């Protein structure tokens, strides 16, 4: 029985993929580098830590910090344009009605995460979110392990819902269950290789949870 759900934020509850591609292409043009021509091209290179993704598109160590700051400044300036993913509010409320505790654990900087969630006050019943101390989107494994220690959650009764291979790695570290949702920051094909259950949307993910179908252990 699932009684705790860990949500990823970017790409899972928040639909910010195309917005992020638009911003990175703006920077690629500024630095005279080839743009990402499609979401498929983006999916082929996006990875965690984000520093490796930046390197793959031409932003090496010499300019990584500079470009990351520019990207994040632009992202936070207009992030309010990003909608929530279809079903995000309905599914979160459904789980809440089943007395399932929920929390967002993100590789975003925690102060930015607070701003984003405050402007979308649909998840007030969630536990306090967990995020990183900087903008460089490294690993969220350590903050997830810390949450597990302090929350009272048991791995066998915990589910992580995300949209990237890093989310599966976090679930593995926690020894908890995992569902990955496509149409986020990585392709369905990549997600299927992880061994996690892969849902086409949040409604299918909820169906997996409530019917106990296709949930892979980390």
Percent above pLDDT 70 for the chain: 95
Between CA 40 and CA 34 the distance in angstroms is 15
Which one, of 195, 184, 146, lies nearest residue 162 by Cα?
184
Q: For 147-190, how does the pLDDT look when each residue is reduced to its tens digit (9 = 90+)?
A: 999 999 999 999 999 999 999 999 999 999 999 999 999 999 99
Class of domain 4-15+83-217: alpha beta
Q: For 107-146, how does the pLDDT look when each residue is reduced to its tens digit (9 = 90+)?
A: 899 999 999 999 999 999 999 999 987 765 567 999 999 9
The band of 56, judged by pLDDT with boundaries at 50, 70 and 90, is very high
Q: For 64-92, how does the pLDDT look when each residue is reduced to its tens digit (9 = 90+)?
A: 999 999 999 999 999 999 999 999 999 99
Between CA 13 and CA 86 the distance in angstroms is 8
pTM of the prediction? 0.94
Helix (H, G, I), strand (E, B) or coil at 9: coil
41 and 214 in contact (C-beta within 8 Å)? no
Question: At 79, phi and psi to the nearest 5?
Answer: -65, -20
């Amino acid at each position: 029985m699932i009684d705790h759900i860990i949500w990823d934020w970017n790409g899972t509850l928040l639909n910010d993929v195309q917005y992020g591609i638009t911003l990175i292409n703006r920077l690629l043009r500024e630095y005279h580098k080839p743009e990402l021509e499609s979401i498929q091209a983006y999916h082929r290179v996006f990875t965690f830590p984000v520093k490796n993704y930046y390197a793959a598109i031409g932003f090496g160590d010499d300019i990584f910090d500079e470009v990351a700051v520019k990207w994040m400044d632009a992202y936070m300036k207009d992030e309010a344009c990003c909608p929530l993913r279809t079903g995000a509010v309905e599914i979160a409320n459904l789980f809440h009605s089943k007395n399932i505790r929920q929390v967002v654990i993100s590789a975003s900087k925690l102060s930015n995460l607070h701003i984003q969630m405050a402007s979308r006050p649909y998840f007030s019943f969630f536990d306090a979110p967990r995020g990183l101390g900087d903008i460089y989107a490294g690993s969220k494994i350590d903050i997830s392990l810390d949450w597990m220690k302090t929350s009272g959650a048991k791995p066998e009764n915990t589910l992580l819902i995300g949209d990237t291979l890093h989310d599966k790695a976090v679930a593995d570290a926690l020894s908890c269950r995992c569902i990955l949702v496509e149409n986020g920051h990585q392709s369905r094909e990549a997600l299927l290789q992880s061994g996690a259950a892969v849902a086409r949307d949040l409604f299918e993910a909820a169906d997996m949870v409530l019917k106990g179908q296709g949930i892979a252990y980390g």
